[in-house]
Amino acid sequence: MENVSLALGRALWVFLLAMIGSTTSQPLGGESVCTARPLARYSITFIGKWSQTAFPKQYPLFRPPAQWSSLLGAAHSSDYSMWRKNEYVSNGLRDFAERGEAWALMKEIEAAGEKLQSVHAVFSAPAIPSGTGQTSTELEVHPRHSLVSFVVRIVPSPDWFVGIDSLDLCEGGRWKEQV
């Protein structure tokens, strides 16, 4: 009976170690691993369509005129979040949305990249000096950093911004052609 218990105990340990080994190699939260080519380059174009005709009640008729701030974004892994819908934003994003100050947000992105290795690249595009117009930039993503987030401040406003939160550019082992 002792040998059976000992053999059963060993088998249980082997099973547990095998399970631990297999579960630690899986992504957290059921995420899929991107197996696309090592590098993809994208062009982002932000188009502002804030006009007096389209938004007669929300269009500012005083100084400063309707405009869009510079676009600020990052290519990152799921370990990083620039902002999330229905959640409080970081102090850096608050400073950006309320006052147009990007310094603290840039420091937060940089710190996440150094500490967690979660940010691959930061990108930006010039501001749009009116309510309508467009701005563009380029970025590159890697399989481990296939998510893209960015923000653009709406001027004038107390704290409004638009953006993308963790858009995954990898799908089914391939880079998306267009989003």
Amino acid at 131: G
In sequence order, which residues have a C-beta less than 8 Å from that of residue 148 and are 6 or more positions away? Answer: 42, 44, 73, 74, 75, 76, 139, 141, 164, 166, 167, 169
Q: Along the 179 residues of the chain, how does pLDDT read in single tens digits?
A: 554 444 444 433 333 333 333 323 334 444 568 999 889 999 999 999 999 999 898 888 877 889 999 999 999 999 999 999 999 999 999 999 999 999 999 999 988 888 778 899 999 999 999 999 999 999 999 999 999 999 999 999 889 999 999 999 999 899 999 99
Total Cβ atoms within 10 A of residue 110: 13
Where are the domains positioned within the chain? 47-175
Question: Which pLDDT value is given to residue 17?
Answer: 31
CATH superfamily of 47-175: F-spondin domain (2.60.40.2130)
Task: Give whole-number Cα distances, 99 to 38, 79, 114, 135, 155, in Å.
Answer: 38, 27, 26, 20, 9
Question: Which pLDDT value is given to residue 8?
Answer: 40
Question: Which pLDDT value is given to residue 28?
Answer: 43
